[in-house]
Amino acid sequence: MPSHKNGEQHFCQKPAGIVAILFNKTIKQQQMKKVALILSIAAILAACNNSGDADKATTTDTQTVTAKEGTPYTIDSTTLVTWTGSKPTGKHDGTFKVSEGALLVNNNALSGGSFTIDINSLNNLDLATSPKDKAGLEGHLKSPDFFDAQKYPTAKFEITSVEPYAAVTDSNSKTKDATHIIKGNLTLKDSTKNIAFPAKVTVDANSVAAFADFNIDRTLWGMSYKGPNNPQDWMISKEVNIKLALSATKK
Give the pLDDT confidence score for residue 11 in this predicted structure: 43
Give the pLDDT confidence score for residue 14 in this predicted structure: 53
Residue 39 has phi, psi (to 5 degrees) of -65, -35
Give the pLDDT confidence score for residue 22 in this predicted structure: 57
Kindly tell me if the per-residue pLDDT of 36 is higher than 80.
Answer: no
Q: How confident is the model at residue 248 (pLDDT cuts 50, 70, 90)?
A: very high
DSSP-derived secondary structure for the chain: ----HHHHHHHHHHHHHHHHHHHHHHHHHHHHHHHHHHHHHHHHHHH---S-S-EEPEEES--------SEEEEEPTT-EEEEEEEETTEEEEEEEEEEEEEEEEETTEEEEEEEEEEEEEEEESTTTT-HHHHHHHHHHHHSTTTT-TTT--EEEEEEEEEEEGGGSTT---SSTT--EEEEEEEEETTEEEEEEEEEEEEE-SSEEEEEEEEEEEGGGGT--TTSTT-HHHHTS-SEEEEEEEEEEEE-
Give the pLDDT confidence score for residue 31 in this predicted structure: 59
pLDDT digits (tens, 9 = 90+) for 187-239: 999 999 999 999 999 999 999 999 999 999 999 998 887 666 666 565 788 89
